[in-house]
Amino acid sequence: MTTLKAILIDDEESGLNSLKQKILQHCPSVEIIALCNKPADGLAAINDLLPDLVFLDIEMPLMNGFTLLQQVSFKNFELIFVTAYDYYAINAIRVSAIDYLVKPVEIDLLVSAVKKAHEKKENEPNKRLELFLENATNQQKKLHKIAIPTFNGIQFIKIEDIIYLEASGNYTKFYLTHSRQYMVSRTLKEFEDMLPNNLFVRIHNSHVINLDFAEKYIRGEGGQVVLTENIVLEVSKRKKNELMKIFLNK
């Protein structure tokens, strides 16, 4: 396994030193090339030292992590946030397929994040940082894209192209416009939490639909929803009343 040159950026000295010790003890493939307790120093270190990996705190005085990322000129590195930030920021991170660790950092999650950083660095072009900045900028407006891990790497898809999602054990199948399909090794619940709840609705244990593609509701015990391209999906009895309220108020 190749060595990843890493920069750690956190305004809290205790957090910075704690993370350093955990990396030294449990992540031998990571070489720490800089510790920065000031965002400006972190920005300069990234542009000067060209790291493979950056561990970044979000809430820092004078310049937060988002602002720092917007200003870096060198962007070809893997990113792991170390944070306890609010839901909207975490959601922007998750849908961009960027890893994050919640303080205090758990060792097994740190090791797992570093392993994934190795895999991404070796196998994928890094468009995740650009997607994250786009999603973070739009988080109070509207999410435009989501990054989904597939068997071959990471696929960047537009939210507006998702017709529905289907659960398959611990996997989720995406059904998109133009007959495109992707199988993803994450649960349907994870994507239900990520996607905008004013647009995506769970109608059954197995299905989450995009309301923009709903064309008709057929009455029944639970009933059925007809989506574009004549896709017919069952509605569970438990979800029927909730779905009818959404349709009648839409």
Domain with 166 in it: what CATH number? 2.40.50.1020
Structural domain boundaries enclosing 109: 4-137
Domain with 52 in it: what CATH number? 3.40.50.2300
Per residue of the chain (250 residues), give pLDDT as tens: 689 999 999 988 999 999 999 999 999 999 999 999 999 899 999 999 999 999 998 877 777 787 888 889 998 899 999 887 655 456 667 667 678 888 889 999 999 999 989 988 776 656 777 777 776 666 544 567 888 887 777 888 989 999 999 999 889 999 999 999 999 988 998 888 788 878 899 999 999 999 999 999 998 888 999 999 899 999 999 998 888 888 877 6
Asked whether residue 115 falls in the same domain as residue 133, the answer is yes
Among the three residues 110, 137, 164, which one is the final residue of a domain in this structure? 137
Q: What per-residue confidence (pLDDT) applies to 140?
A: 45
Asked whether residue 153 falls in the same domain as residue 117, the answer is no
Peptide bond into 104 cis (omega under 30): yes
Among the three residues 91, 113, 137, which one is the final residue of a domain in this structure? 137
Q: What per-residue confidence (pLDDT) applies to 91?
A: 65
Alpha-carbon torsion angle 118, 112, 49, 11, nearest 10? 170
Query: Does residue 235 belong to any structural domain of this protein?
Result: yes
Query: Does residue 79 belong to any structural domain of this protein?
Result: yes
Strand partners, 75: none
Query: Does residue 142 belong to any structural domain of this protein?
Result: no
Q: What per-residue confidence (pLDDT) applies to 138?
A: 60
Answer left, alpha or beta for residue 85, where phi above 0 means left and psi between -120 and 50 means alpha.
Answer: beta
Asked whether residue 124 falls in the same domain as residue 21, the answer is yes
Asked whether residue 107 falls in the same domain as residue 188, the answer is no
pTM of the model: 0.62
Number of structural domains the chain divides into: 2
Q: Which helix (H) or strand (E) holds 156?
A: strand 153-158
Asked whether residue 69 falls in the same domain as residue 29, the answer is yes
Residue 241 to residue 244: CA distance in whole angstroms: 5
Asked whether residue 163 falls in the same domain as residue 104, the answer is no
Among the three residues 109, 137, 165, which one is the final residue of a domain in this structure? 137
Asked whether residue 31 falls in the same domain as residue 110, the answer is yes
